[in-house]
């Protein structure tokens, strides 16, 4: 009797999402809301602006992540912080935009 083969996904970790927002998106929503809440307390204004700011940030993240993979924001941050060939960590090479031969004529 042969065993039935079932494909196993590469990532076995469990990801929770709510309308595309994951747990890793909480700091992107909470930090601006907490800053606005602190400013509202210090300047004695309405604390409703903190909730409005958090809701606006969440909607902005929803629009940014619409129809993209669940780890899109993490990948975006990793790519933005990765060193590149033409970065400050390596020496850049300067090339002429139009190379010339020995007689100063375009090739």
**Tens digits of per-residue pLDDT, 31-58?**
999 999 999 999 999 999 999 999 999 9
Q: Rounded CA gap, 95 and 107, in Å? A: 15
Residue 75 inside a domain? The answer is: yes
Neighbours of 70 (CB within 10 A): 16
Q: Is residue 100 domain-resident?
A: no
List pLDDT tens digits, range 12-27: 566 677 777 888 888 9
User: Is 55 among the domain residues?
Assistant: yes
Residue 38 domain-assigned?
Answer: yes
**Residue 59 or 73, more confident:** 59
Structural domain includes residue 99:
no
Question: Is 1 part of any domain?
Answer: no
Domain assignment present for 5 = no
Q: Domain span at residue 57?
A: 26-80
């Amino acid at each position: 009797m042969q065993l039935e083969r079932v494909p196993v996904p590469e990532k076995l970790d469990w990801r929770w999402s709510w309308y595309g927002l994951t747990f890793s998106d909480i700091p992107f929503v909470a930090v601006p809301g907490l800053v606005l809440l602190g400013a509202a307390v210090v300047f004695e204004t309405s604390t409703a602006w903190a909730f409005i700011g958090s809701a606006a940030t969440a909607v902005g993240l929803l629009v940014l992540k619409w129809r993209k993979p669940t780890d899109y924001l993490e990948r975006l941050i990793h790519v933005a912080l990765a060193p590149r060939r033409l970065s400050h960590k390596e020496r850049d090479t300067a090339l002429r935009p139009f190379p010339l031969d020995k007689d100063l004529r375009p090739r």
